[in-house]
């Protein structure tokens, strides 16, 4: 009979505790923020480089 609770046969994972879940979500959020900032920095740097190249070719 299936009562909706997690068991070892359903995925092999134990339910995580409240603090463990909080730490995991905070870590994932930090990683996402780091990636987003890196992406924004890369795009901005590329845009500045293209702008400088465009200015140099015009003058």
Residue 7 covered by a domain: no
In angstroms, the CA 40 to CA 32 distance is 12
Residue 50 covered by a domain: yes
Residue 53 covered by a domain: yes
Alpha-helix residue ranges (DSSP H) falling in the chain: 8-11, 18-58
- Kindly tell me if the per-residue pLDDT of 7 is higher than 70: no
Q: Tell me: the pLDDT tens digits for 9-38?
A: 555 566 778 889 999 999 999 999 999 999
- Kindly tell me if the per-residue pLDDT of 50 is higher than 80: yes
- Note down the domain range covering 47: 23-57
Residue 56, both tokens: 């140099």
32 Cα distance to chain centroid: 2
pLDDT at position 29 is 92
pLDDT at position 4 is 58
Residue 46 covered by a domain: yes
Q: Is 0.75 surpassed by the pTM of this model?
A: no
pLDDT at position 16 is 72
């Amino acid at each position: 009979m299936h009562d909706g609770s997690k068991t070892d046969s359903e995925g092999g994972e134990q339910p995580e505790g409240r603090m463990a879940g909080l730490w995991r979500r905070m870590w994932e959020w930090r990683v996402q923020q780091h990636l987003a900032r890196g992406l924004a920095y890369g795009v901005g740097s590329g845009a500045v480089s293209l702008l400088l190249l465009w200015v140099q070719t015009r003058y």
